[in-house]
């Protein structure tokens, strides 16, 4: 499980001094010679760390000359500082939960282009990895990262609440979504919420605007890299749909009051687990929490609904995931590639790792593997990951800054700042473009 919120982890210090000239390593090493690699990653939960250790054990069994020294719970900021400094203690292989930063990893030169290594060892990335996962691990044609498992987002729903409300299946369109959310809402005698059909507010847990906007299949940038949200066909329908859902469920202020009483996302008091929400947007990992909590109701999973005029895209969802690459400063880049290749493309390894931490596999073969622990609820997320309409936000030069700007815009709009929408969207585009120019200088 990995949770990266836009506006927090999406911003790293890659734009600092020295970023454009990272220490140079070597791709002339002999990967058959004895070597010790340093691998830095962000996993910290006991089960996840053990899964990494088991992955390394499998790798070392196949490559007895290569030893791997792993360091976990490492932030992007710490990795970037080490890569800028170089030296003998810097990592050879690095992973990140922040796909938004891939544009910076590639453009800064701190992560090497992996295409030469793939050509040298005969790995055809287009045959191995789904296109939508390759898209978020490259920037302007440079494949400086590869996917290391993925997260897909979908809808969790309370089957008992659905049955009691006479709803026979999860909603598939946004109009059905709004209708069902209202129908599932229950209030107390004083008018407060006993159960809410769905919490739409963007500040709620995983409800960032980009995750919900993914159902419209947006294009954030034109071919020249300029922001085009003001001319994106789905943006106005998305915002109106969001605002309409907020209004239908009682208004922004009432929803915010209810939301602020929910507590921590990963506590036993999670509002979906306690029956305060009938529908909830989340990643595939939420199923583990529900199983462990032994909630007192039947629950299911489904894709998030899509716009009414795009029913053929139902099944799509927002994708993200862990990315992995090789440090430019590494003097053992060929040996490092052997580790990256094993972790990302060996089918048995990818399946075993996915099973261990309950994430979506990131290769075509692993997604089809009969060895995958695919319970009924988890299969929903596998289908979302395979859906050709599913997507992740594109990489950009300054990481997730454009998503932070979009998120701030969304906060204001859902709260009622709706006047002059066209003007405000153009202003948002100008802000995003200005931030990009600043990152280039």
Measured N-to-C along each axis, helices 333-345 and 46-62 cross at an angle, to the nearest 10 degrees, of 120
- What percent of the chain lies above the pLDDT cut of 70? 95
| Predicted local distance difference test score (pLDDT) of residue 76 | 86
Model confidence band, residue 21 (pLDDT cutoffs 50, 70, 90): low
Percentages helix, strand, coil for the chain (3-state, rounded to 5) are 45, 15, 40
User: How confident is residue 22, by pLDDT bands cut at 50, 70 and 90?
Assistant: low
Q: Please say if the pLDDT value at position 86 is more than 80.
A: no
pLDDT digits over 186-210, tens only?
A: 999 999 999 999 999 999 999 999 9
**Structurally, what CATH architecture does the domain formed by 35-151+320-386 represent?**
3-Layer(aba) Sandwich (3.40)
What digits encode the pLDDT tens for the residues 265-308? 999 999 999 999 999 999 998 998 898 899 999 999 999 999 99
Same topology for domains 35-151+320-386 and 152-313, yes or no? yes
Helix-helix angle 421-440:401-414, to 10 degrees: 160
Give me the half-sphere count of Cα atoms (radius 13 Å) on the Cβ side of residue 372: 25
Q: Would you state the pLDDT for residue 98?
A: 86
Average pLDDT of the chain to the nearest whole number: 92
Strand partners, 146: 324
pLDDT over threshold 60, residue 11: no
Instruction: Locate all alpha helices (DSSP H) within 87-143, ordered by sequence.
Output: 102-108, 115-121, 125-128, 131-135
Domain 152-313 has CATH 3.40.50.2300: no
Low-confidence winner among 85-89, 128-132, 157-161, 180-184 (lowest mean pLDDT): 85-89
Distance between CA atoms of residues 229 and 240, nearest Å = 15
At what angle are helices 235-248 and 174-184 packed, to 10 degrees? 10
Backbone angles phi, psi at 93, to 5 degrees: -120, 135
For residue 374, is pLDDT > 90? Answer: no
Q: Ranked by mean pLDDT, which of 9-13, 137-141, 235-239 comes out on top?
A: 235-239
- Whether 401 has a pLDDT exceeding 50, the answer reads yes
For residues 361 and 264, the answer to whether their CB atoms sit within 8 Å is: no
> Can you give the residue ranges of every domain in the chain?
35-151+320-386, 152-313
């Amino acid at each position: 499980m990995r949770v990266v919120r836009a506006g927090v982890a999406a911003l790293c210090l890659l734009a600092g001094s020295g970023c454009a000239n990272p220490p140079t390593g070597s791709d002339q090493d002999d990967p058959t010679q004895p070597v010790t690699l340093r691998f830095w990653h962000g996993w910290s939960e006991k089960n996840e760390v053990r899964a990494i250790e088991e992955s390394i054990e499998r790798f070392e069994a196949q490559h007895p000359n290569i030893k791997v020294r792993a360091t976990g719970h490492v932030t992007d900021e710490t990795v970037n500082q080490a890569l800028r400094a170089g030296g003998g203690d810097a990592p050879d292989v690095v992973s990140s939960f922040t796909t938004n930063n891939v544009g910076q990893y590639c453009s800064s030169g701190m992560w090497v282009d992996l295409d030469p290594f793939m050509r040298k060892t005969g790995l055809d990335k287009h045959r191995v990895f789904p296109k939508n996962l390759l898209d978020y691990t490259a920037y302007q044609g440079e494949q400086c990262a590869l996917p290391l498992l993925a997260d897909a987002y979908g809808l969790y729903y309370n089957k008992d609440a659905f049955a009691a409300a006479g709803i026979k299946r999860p909603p598939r369109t946004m109009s059905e979504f709004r209708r069902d959310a209202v129908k599932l809402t229950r209030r107390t005698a004083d008018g407060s919420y006993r159960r809410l059909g769905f919490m739409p507010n963007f500040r709620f847990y995983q409800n960032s605007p980009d995750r919900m906007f993914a159902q419209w299949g947006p294009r954030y940038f034109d071919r020249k890299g300029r922001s085009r949200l003001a001319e994106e066909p789905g943006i106005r329908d998305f915002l109106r749909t969001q605002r309409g859902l907020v209004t239908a469920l009682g208004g922004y202020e009432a929803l915010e009051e209810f939301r602020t009483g929910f507590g921590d996302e990963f506590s036993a008091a999670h509002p979906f687990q306690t029956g305060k929400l009938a529908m909830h947007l989340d990643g595939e990992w939420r199923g583990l929490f529900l199983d462990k909590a032994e909630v007192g109701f039947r629950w299911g999973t489904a894709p998030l609904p899509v716009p009414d005029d795009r029913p053929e895209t139902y099944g799509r969802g927002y994708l993200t995931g862990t990315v992995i690459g090789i440090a430019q400063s590494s003097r053992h880049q060929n040996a490092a590639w052997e580790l990256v290749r094993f972790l990302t493309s060996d089918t048995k390894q990818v399946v075993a790792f996915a099973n261990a931490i309950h994430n979506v596999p990131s290769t075509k073969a692993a997604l089809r593997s009969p060895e995958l622990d695919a319970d009924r609820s988890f299969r929903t997320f596998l289908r979302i990951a395979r859906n050709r309409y599913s997507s992740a936000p594109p990489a950009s030069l300054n990481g997730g800054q454009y998503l932070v700007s979009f998120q701030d815009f969304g906060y204001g709009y859902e709260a009622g700042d709706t006047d002059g929408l066209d003007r405000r969207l153009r202003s948002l585009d100008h802000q995003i473009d200005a931030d990009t120019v600043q990152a280039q200088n």
